[in-house]
């Protein structure tokens, strides 16, 4: 795009964004797709039976970020 790396870094800093590097910590296995589909079907059935179910679940996702300056 013709924009220098330093120009991009300055623009990110000006808007209070930080560059980070993603590090994958979990490996996907062959049967993970089938398990995910099974989970989705089960949850869909549960939500159909109890529309307020999702209001009683606390979702969490742990992730690590490495910030480079």
Q: What is the DSSP string of 39-58?
A: HHHHHHHHHHH-TTGGGG--
Would you say residue 14 has pLDDT above 60?
A: yes
pTM: 0.47
Q: Which residues pair with 20 in a beta bridge?
A: 67
Residues in Cβ contact with 51 at an 8 Å cutoff, skipping those fewer than 6 apart: none
Q: Which two tokens stand for residue 43?
A: 């949850």
3-state DSSP assignment of residue 13: helix
| Residue 26, pLDDT score | 76
- Render pLDDT for 29-64 as a digit per residue (tens, 0 to 9): 899 999 999 999 999 999 999 999 988 887 766 666
Instruction: Name the residue range of residue 14's domain.
Output: 5-67
When divided into structural domains, the chain yields a total of: 1
| Neighbour count for residue 67 (Cβ, 10 Å) | 8
| Residue 28, pLDDT score | 83
């Amino acid at each position: 795009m013709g924009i220098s790396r330093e120009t991009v870094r300055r623009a990110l800093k000006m808007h209070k964004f930080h560059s980070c590097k993603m590090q994958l910590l979990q490996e996907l296995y062959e049967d993970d797709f089938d398990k995910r589909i099974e989970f989705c079907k089960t949850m869909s059935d549960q939500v159909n039976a109890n529309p307020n179910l999702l209001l009683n679940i606390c979702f969490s996702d742990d992730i690590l970020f490495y910030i480079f300056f």
